[in-house]
Chains A and B, each alone.
Chain A
Amino acid sequence: MGLREWLERNSTFLVLAVALVVLAAITFAIGDLLIERIVTVLFIDLVLVLALQVFMGNSGILSFSVAGFMGIGAYGSVLFSMSPAAKAAALPDLYPLLSGVQLPFLASVLIGGLLAALVAAVVSYPLMRLSDAAGVITIFSLLVIINVVLVHWSRLTNGPRTLFGVERFTYLGTSAVFAVLFLGVAWWFKESSVGLKLRASRDDAFAAAAVGINIVAVRYLAFILSAFMAGFAGALWAHFITSFSPYAFYLSAMFVFLAMLVIGGPMSVSGAVIGTVLVTVLREGLRSIENNVNMSKILSTNLVGFTEVVMSVLLVVILVLRPSGIMGGRELRWPAALSGRNRSQGSTGDKSEGGVPRADV
């Protein structure tokens, strides 16, 4: 394949990657601490939304477990990166085998991701047989189980209490590098043979099975990749926020990721990026309104939950007006004028709506 052809075929990834790098560079140039924090979280959220996109966007099955795998990655990495002294203070009952080890940051993060992938690989194969409501409830059950275990396995997680003493390793640069890397992974997966088979099974499960696609197997691979990305992102987040409790990895976090992906458009990688950026901007705007109102004491009580109320209304409005999100399954690509050739035969245009056969209602 020539360079030109490669560039054209992967122009979506290139456009998005350049946009992310520019965003990181501008943030770095401004040098404002608050903006830097917001953009760092944006990049980590992007990896999580991409993790959701890899499974949900391509398979059409709503997956609640991303937040759970994020939690596994966070705790899994922190147990290796913390110094023995910090562990003795924060987790006095930790298993002796673990309390002495300390690994470098990147190795710990990788372990976090692999641990999440391992859990997914062990438990998820039979779950992949289920579609629609049954599939959603089983994956939701998985999230509940992971959460119960994180909350109660006190020797490893400090129970429902906050875990302190994690060193900060994740900065703007770290998160930007991994956001671009996983953007590439999500794009590559979608365009790969497995991704194509998975998308075929989403659009018509029976037709896909009829042409010989092993639906369970392709879903399984996507689920493991998704868990790995979520675990990796959770590990990055843990080393950014430095103190957290298991409740950070439950339904309210899941709501944010789902809103990001659904608003942007679950069926495309571009949708994941656009949704993440839009929702982050919107959330920060709403949150600053909330803070200003609370600071100025206009109201007798504090304004709590305002951001979520607006977000959920917006989510419903998007679902009513544009159920396949802003991008509607299309990908951003290099403007045709620049590539010099008329590309009417787009290979990645996904025209089906909602990802699932229409309901008969």
Chain B
Amino acid sequence: MITLDFIVNALSLGSTYALLALGMVIVYGILNLVNFAFGELLMITGYSLFVLSIGPRLPWVVMAVLAVGVAVLTSYLTERAAFRPVREHSPTAMLITSFAVSTLLQNAALLIISPRARGVPLPKLFSMSARVLGQDLPIRNLLAIATSLLLLGLLVLLLRRTVLGIALRAASDNFRMTRLLGVPANLVISVAFAISGLLAGVVGLFWVGRTASVTPTIGAAPLLVAFVATVIGGMRSLAGAVVGGYIYGIVFSMIGILLPPGMMEFREAFMFIVVILILLFRPEGLIRGAYSTKRVG
């Protein structure tokens, strides 16, 4: 049954997925790096909320802003400490580095905090629901949609209206040419990682908000989502990432009602078969970027 509740749910899922995909593509477009450590940024946000809740009582909004800040900082630091030194080697070296960083962050959480789930504080608003057109809609979902739209709007402004944004877009079109025109590479890459961290942090708030807890392995699921959404939308296009995220969110919700119950558990496998098919037959995704992925044969 397609109800208002279902639509809001699918849209809120799509909104968070769109932000995830965008966070992934903004780095991929410039560095050609598929960042395996991206999911861990959501985990860092969750643990920051947990740690902040131990200390003096702060309003939730302050804690949330600080937690997102920690994710931004972590993203920037991984770039400085790990990705920058290997950047001139080879794409494979960078991929393995991101895999190592992901393992590092996950196990650091195990080591420093605990393998067990930790509770995170949530505002009352997250557990309330609003009555719209005779249906109870969770405010959390409405908030996710509103926050995503706001963030996307701000990003569009940044990318279209500022010098920095134009440099970022130029860099993701053709990085070498952009550098030849005098745009500092390190600055552009650092900003891309910071934005990636910001998007991951904001999604992280909503992600941990579903279960009100955080575990060291919580980053795996959003990473897979970002992969799928990115590939659907097109790995070279920022707009494609957003479209891919919404399509994934909506399709995933639809599969939930269409697939026979016995096959439900294989839902993820189906999504990844879609990924492989898209990469094979339309590697540029739904929205074509500057140039498509190289393919032999």
Contact = CB atoms under 8 A, between A and B. Distances in A.
Nearest to B272: A141
Contacts of A126: 280
A360 interface: yes
A209 B90 CA distance: 21
Contact of B104 (A134, A149, A312): A312
B86 A133 contact: no
Interface in B109-123: 109-111, 114-115
Interface stretch (B95-103, B146-154, B158-166, B240-248): B95-103
Interface residues of A, number: 59
A323 B93 contact: yes
A354 B297 CA distance: 23
Contacts, number: 174
Interface in B265-286: 265-266, 268-269, 272-273, 275-276, 279-280, 283
B108 A305 contact: yes
B276 A142 contact: yes
Q: What is the size category of the interface that chain B forms with chain A?
A: 35 or more
A323 B86 contact: yes
- Most A CB contacts (10 A, CB to CB) among B99, B109, B235, B268 go to B99
B266 A149 contact: yes
Interface stretch (B13-21, B64-72, B206-214, B288-296): B288-296
A303 B82 contact: no
Interface in A295-310: 301, 303-306, 308-309
B91 interface: yes
Contacts of A138: 275-276, 279-280
B58 to A, nearest CB: 26
Given A144-B272, A258-B99, A304-B115, A361 B88 contact: yes
Interface stretch (A24-32, A40-48, A95-103, A314-322): A314-322
B269 A130 contact: no
A338 interface: no
Contacts of A136: 34, 95
A141 B276 contact: yes
A148 B96 contact: no
A79 to B, nearest CB: 20
A215 interface: yes
A319 B89 contact: yes
A149 B269 contact: yes
A149 B109 CA distance: 29
Contacts of A354: 89-90, 92-93
Interface of B: 28, 31-32, 34, 82, 85-97, 99-101, 103-104, 106-111, 114-115, 175-176, 185, 216, 220, 224, 227, 231, 235, 265-266, 268-269, 272-273, 275-276, 279-280, 283, 293-297
16 contacts: A62-B96, A130-B283, A131-B295, A134-B295, A141-B272, A148-B268, A209-B296, A251-B220, A305-B216, A306-B107, A308-B104, A319-B89, A320-B85, A353-B90, A355-B90, A357-B90
